[in-house]
Structure 1
Amino acid sequence: MYSAEDHAVRQHAPFISVIERPHHSKAVVSWRDATNCRYGDQVWNATTAREDGVCALSGKPIARGDQVYRPRRSRPAALNADCMILASALEAACDLVEPLRDENCPTMHRRSR
């Protein structure tokens, strides 16, 4: 059972959809956060975590040196520029649903924890 605090945090968690995987080191993500920002087709690139954090997709801890995806740098910086998605969580999200005809990775909708 969730506490009132857990429920409040969950209400403000972003809704993340993996739209496309044009390359193994890129993902196109839809990011909707009612309290902060909305990006319909944001490109995320594979990289190594430079600091500890929390995966925006799975809620799992991220350690410095883990393989992650981050929003592509832009000017001005995206409001979610400091967020990260564990590479393993993104790959797992792509494996959740069987691919539709002619798609390598279908669109997946996952609410972060």
Structure 2
Amino acid sequence: MSLASIVSRTFEVPWVKRMMMPVAQWYANAAGYRQMGLRYDDLIPEESDVVQQALKRLPPKEAYDRIYRIRRAVQDIRYLRPLIEEIERERQEREDLDSLVIKR
């Protein structure tokens, strides 16, 4: 049984749905994709042949809107790249210091 089927079966029970919806809403907001204007299906990897065929079947307006949302999200402020570069510099410095040979 896949995770998607487990989740869909879980949300069929009314009291479980009422209990889980706030958690699901919180998680969707915490992921940050909604703030960038992305939809859930915008995050599906496009490498699969099935996904490629599905993208070809999209109406032209929906295909344009999808590309626009993805481009806008990609061109957003780079919040993670500066931290990645800082960590890479720290690792390089640590590696340089660890391989340092001291001569007397």
Q: Same fold (TM over 0.5)?
A: no
Asked which structure has the greater CA Rg, the reply is: 2
What TM-score does the superposition give when structure 1 sets the normalisation length?
0.23
Which has a greater percent of helix? Answer: 2
What TM-score does the superposition give when structure 2 sets the normalisation length?
0.24
Which has a greater percent of strand? Answer: 1
